[in-house]
A = this chain, B = another copy of it.
Amino acid sequence: MSSDHHRVHTSVPDTTAAIDRSLPEFPAAKPIDEDNYFRLHKPPQYLSQISRDVADFINFHHQARRKIVLVTSGGTTVPLENNTVRFIDNFSAGTRGATSAEYFLENGYAVVFLHREFSLLPYSRHYSHTTNCFLDYMTESQNGKVEVNAEFQKEMLVVLRKYRHAQKNNLLLLVPFTTVHQYLFTLKLIAQELSVIGSDALFFLAAAVSDFFLPSSRVPEHKIQSQESGGKLVVDLEPVPKFLSRLVDSWAPISMIVSFKLETDNSILIKKSKGALERYNHQLVIGNLLQSRKREVVFVTKDSDRWVKLTSDQIEANVDIESLIVPEVIKLHASSIEEKRKVGL
């Protein structure tokens, strides 16, 4: 409760040694990988409900001729048992996704926010996962009423108005996931629904998706096995098929797709980003380094790479880098729509 203890943070990743550099770049998934994956794994039970909600949302905004962005956010988990008590997690608080969603909303997009449950959400992110507890914003007035502290009033009013605006106009659809299976089934579903609006759809894939998973045929009903000898535990995982290529080729072939590449070594960031572009044949990779991702990113396309950076004044003023990233992405989306219209798509 004393502010002292808030100085200790136990979950900060070590930026000098955080990215798995020697993993091979897995090949892009093929139709057969897709067939196998979606045939061998059960869809989440709630998927039909999400399907209905997504269809209604897309239909509503399509009639209003509003562009729609799918923002993915947060890390996926890989359950090691037929439950979610023990799992492998890819850490991501969801800051990039939640913040970007706000700027898409401010720029007139409707947003489907496909997010890890309990990761940061647009607007409420300003009051979650912080060192401040919700109750620290509150005070008891002389007549026994709970009030928002005067010092937080101004900022909170701005956030609250934007939140209510999005809510009132049905501009934000929250769709949760936890496991990598849930993520992939839901991504495919939403992509296929969005393909209806073609080039007006934008995919902004900021989620941290697991590289490995335990095929359901190998997930034991009650437990992970311990080796007979010495009580060791051996977990044997398969690579997750790289479905980005399926998104580009088949699920939503006319939409613009943006993916992210997170590295720690500046000297290979652009090369790796170009590699992803070539492998998946999509429009834009936004490269970023773990240590500087809140200050600068690089836009990598087939024929250019261009840094987008906060100025030192902007850093001082706590400007979100997403307030620069999102308008740039929107410009590229507009060009992409224009080009596709020219060829009749």
Task: Report how far A13 CA is from B85 CA in the complex, Å.
Answer: 6
In the complex, which residue of chain B has the Cβ closest to the Cβ of A9?
A: B117
A50–B8 touching, CB < 8 Å? yes
In the complex, which residue of chain B has the Cβ closest to the Cβ of A166?
A: B1
A7–B128 touching, CB < 8 Å? no
In the complex, which residue of chain B has the Cβ closest to the Cβ of A139?
A: B160
Q: What 1/0 flags go to A1-18 for Cβ under 8 Å of B?
A: 110111111111110011
CB neighbours of A232 from chain B (8 A)? 212, 236-239
Task: Report how far A7 CA is from B147 CA in the complex, Å.
Answer: 30
Contact (A23, B223) CB under 8 Å given A10-B179, A234-B236: yes
Task: Report how far A254 CA is from B82 CA in the complex, Å.
Answer: 41
Instruction: Find A8's partner among B91, B176, B226 (CB 8 Å cutoff).
Output: B176
Contact (A174, B129) CB under 8 Å given A134-B124, A153-B145: no
CB neighbours of A77 from chain B (8 A)? 89
A304 at interface (Cβ–Cβ under 8 A)?
A: no
Instruction: Find A1's partner among B7, B170, B221, B222 (CB 8 Å cutoff).
Output: B170
Given A10-B182, A85-B91: 4 more A-B contacts, CB < 8 Å? A24-B226, A135-B160, A230-B238, A232-B239
Chosen A-B contacts, 19 in total, with CB atoms closer than 8 Å, are A1-B173, A1-B174, A5-B50, A5-B53, A6-B174, A10-B117, A11-B84, A14-B82, A17-B222, A18-B81, A18-B83, A23-B231, A133-B163, A140-B161, A146-B157, A231-B239, A232-B237, A234-B236, A235-B237
